[in-house]
């Protein structure tokens, strides 16, 4: 048996809709002294993180092609829910745009299918070594990637896919200034021609929806000439 991913038996969430591959990954990682929790879709992944808490997992292995939602949207929602653990995408799509959009969504690494378990273990080792201390979860608001909705104490606000991606990028880095170029990369496809004021218009709409969701004290601030921040 090869050495374990970590001496502390890390807890890893594996999100994969293919039953056979999910079982192979779970068995293989457990042989490397990893505590594995599995989910078959985005709703299951969110339920696992919300049920156990955002600090319960040391890493997430996340398939992009899920039956109920895009894995990149799921990653953004997990980040918005407070998950700071590294996310490693599994994907059959390894074009440059797909890779970059995965990083923009909050992913830390990707692995193209088919792959060897030994490579996945090696990448998890690296991700766990680099893992930063967890940030506190933004309380009161949550994103649902299956419905593209913002859920808050005063109700639910429907979001367009672009609004969802921009807000998720802000919530994932709560308290930090997110540069305009990073928000554009998160919200729009690579190479899209976006007018200078388009991002500002989207942020203005998101401010109204955050207010309507009813989490007192939460707002989107402006760092003039730089970007925006969710506080």
Q: What is the pLDDT of residue 136?
A: 40
* Low-confidence stretches of the chain (pLDDT beneath 70): 1-8, 93-99, 130-139, 215-216
Query: For 161-200, what is each residue's pLDDT tens digit?
Result: 899 989 988 988 888 899 998 899 888 877 788 887 999 9
59-63 β-sheet, strand order? 35-39, 11-15, 59-63, 87-91, 109-112
Q: What is the pLDDT of residue 216?
A: 66
DSSP code, position 100: H
Dig out the tokens for 173 from the structure. Answer: 């880095």
Q: What is the pLDDT of residue 3?
A: 42
Query: For 95-107, what is each residue's pLDDT tens digit?
Result: 666 667 777 778 8
- From residue 66, how far is each of 78, 120, 167, 211 by CA, in Å? 15, 19, 21, 31
Query: Which residue shows structure tokens 């808050």?
Result: 152
Q: What is the pLDDT of residue 139?
A: 54
- The rounded distance, in Å, linking the Cα atoms of 77 and 79 is 5
Residue 197 bridge partners (DSSP): none
Q: What is the pLDDT of residue 231?
A: 84
Structural domains of the chain sorted by starting position, each given as residue range(s) with its CATH number in brackets: 11-130 (3.40.50.2300), 142-230 (1.10.10.10)
Q: What's the whole-model pTM score? A: 0.62
């Amino acid at each position: 048996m090869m050495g374990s991913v970590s001496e502390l038996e890390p807890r890893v969430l594996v999100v994969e809709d293919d039953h056979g591959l999910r079982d192979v990954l779970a068995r293989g990682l457990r042989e490397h002294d990893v505590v594995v929790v599995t989910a078959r879709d985005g709703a299951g992944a969110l339920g696992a993180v919300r049920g156990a808490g955002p600090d319960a997992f040391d890493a997430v292995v996340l398939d992009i092609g899920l039956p109920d939602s895009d894995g990149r949207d799921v990653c953004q929602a997990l980040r918005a829910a407070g998950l700071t653990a590294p996310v490693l995408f599994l994907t059959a799509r390894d074009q440059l745009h797909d890779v970059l959009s995965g990083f923009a969504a909050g992913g830390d690494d990707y692995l193209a299918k088919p792959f060897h378990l030994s490579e996945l273990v090696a990448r998890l080792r690296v991700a766990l070594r680099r893992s930063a201390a967890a940030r506190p979860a933004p309380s009161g608001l949550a994103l649902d990637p299956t419905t593209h909705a913002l859920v808050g104490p005063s109700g639910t606000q429907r979001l367009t896919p672009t609004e969802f991606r921009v807000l998720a990028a802000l919530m994932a880095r709560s308290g930090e200034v997110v540069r305009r170029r990073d928000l554009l990369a998160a919200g729009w496809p690579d190479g899209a021609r976006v007018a200078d004021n388009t991002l500002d218009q989207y942020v203005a709409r998101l401010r109204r929806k955050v207010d309507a969701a009813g989490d007192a004290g939460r707002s989107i601030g402006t760092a003039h000439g730089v970007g925006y921040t969710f506080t």
